[in-house]
Amino acid sequence: MSPEMLALFVGFGLVVGVLFGFFGMGGSFLVTPALLMLDYDPSVAVGSGMAFVFGTAVIATLKHHDLGQVDYKLGAIMITGTTIGIEAGRASVYYLESIGLAGALISVSYVVLLGGVGAMVTRDALRGDGGGIDHEAADKSLDEYEIPETAKKIQRTVRIPPMVSLRGDVRVSAWVITAVAFATGLLSGFLGVGGGFIRMPAMIYAIGVPVPVAVGTDLFEIVFSGGLGSYLYGQGGGVDLGIVVPLLFGSALGARVGSAATAVVDADGIKVYFGGMLLVGAIAVGVGEIGSYVGSPVLEAAGLVLVIGAAVVVAAAILYTSILSLRTTKGRQRATAD
């Protein structure tokens, strides 16, 4: 690998890490499209994307374990459903690759997914409802947590045994947990993403898990399912350490910076940019795919520049706002002292 590519992966990892650390989601689903646009085989793009997600999840779980925010029982139940889902998704990628449709279908799925989630986050941010992880809710104690109405309704109506008791005084059918896990696993296996942006809301609104436990358990679960998914892709030659190692090297540092930035910056003000970034990402993947279809290297390069550029702009906005906020606080402290 050339030093330029190595620097690109470390730098891109840093940017992805800042976004993941700040928003608690969304970093990983920029990696696979970028790798596809760099002309990697779909199985290598998805497999290496998943191995990167696995490494990121290991680091984040260690942190959430220290904070006591992991429900190991729920995680263990989810692992089975997610694993079967991931394997079904992975098998679909290899099948589609054998008939020459994998790259196009994965790209189209990304356009729909990034566009859909981007539109949802932008709409919520403009309304002031937030999007991504609610950092204030994530800091609440479990006793203060109220189970959402949808989850209460599901808990009352779906009572297929075995019923399971979870942290935060939640009692739910194991089948509901397995269904949520399978659906998000399928998405992970097909697209190489962690699936947290779907699994977390599903855990909160379908199962009724408190927000901090949903965040920690989701990451714990990704360690196992992502590890197994990476292993399966690795057996088929789909995991490239030359991609994963520099990406992880950059993202582990970026995640610390992004996570520290949540303490000094109001996330709601930046979420609209995050939504915009996902929408630009959707357009970028579409442009890149059209470029590849009509054989235009210019369009392919434009797609890559757009997807990386959008992520860089949002990460830079987070860092700039953090520094500005720190300097303002410092200035006020000096004025008060004077």
Residues binding other proteins (CB under 8 A):
43, 51, 54-56, 58-59, 62-63, 87-88, 91, 94-95, 97-98, 227-228, 230-232, 234-236, 239, 241, 244-245, 248-249, 252-253, 256, 260, 263-264, 323, 326-327, 329-330, 333-334
Comparing CB distances to other proteins, the nearer of 51 and 202 is 51
Please state the closest distance from residue 239 (CB atom) to other proteins, in A.
Answer: 6
Comparing CB distances to other proteins, the nearer of 211 and 248 is 248
Distance separating alpha carbons of residues 222 and 228, to the nearest angstrom: 9
Cα dihedral sign, 314-317-319-321: negative
Comparing CB distances to other proteins, the nearer of 150 and 329 is 329
Question: Scanning the structure block, which residue is given the tokens 């357009």?
Answer: 283
Per the DSSP assignment, residues forming a β-bridge with 172 are: 164
Distance separating alpha carbons of residues 208 and 13, to the nearest angstrom: 33
Cα 267 off chain centre by:
17
Distance separating alpha carbons of residues 182 and 196, to the nearest angstrom: 13
Give yes or no for a contact between 191 and 109, defined as CB atoms under 8 angstroms apart: yes
Comparing CB distances to other proteins, the nearer of 71 and 97 is 97
Comparing CB distances to other proteins, the nearer of 67 and 91 is 91
Please state the closest distance from residue 96 (CB atom) to other proteins, in A.
Answer: 9
Distance separating alpha carbons of residues 188 and 182, to the nearest angstrom: 10
Question: Scanning the structure block, which residue is given the tokens 């085989």?
Answer: 41
Please state the closest distance from residue 48 (CB atom) to other proteins, in A.
Answer: 10
Per the DSSP assignment, residues forming a β-bridge with 173 are: 163
Comparing CB distances to other proteins, the nearer of 2 and 98 is 98
Comparing CB distances to other proteins, the nearer of 104 and 158 is 104
Task: Give Dmax (Cα) for the chain.
Answer: 72
215 burial via Cβ count (<10 Å: 0-12, 13-18, 19+): buried
Question: Scanning the structure block, which residue is given the tokens 């706002």?
Answer: 321
Please state the closest distance from residue 91 (CB atom) to other proteins, in A.
Answer: 5
Comparing CB distances to other proteins, the nearer of 163 and 253 is 253
Please state the closest distance from residue 99 (CB atom) to other proteins, in A.
Answer: 9
For 210, the token pair is 């408190």
Query: Which of these, 220, 277, 208, lies nearest to 73 by C-alpha position?
Result: 220
Per the DSSP assignment, residues forming a β-bridge with 166 are: 170
Please state the closest distance from residue 127 (CB atom) to other proteins, in A.
Answer: 30
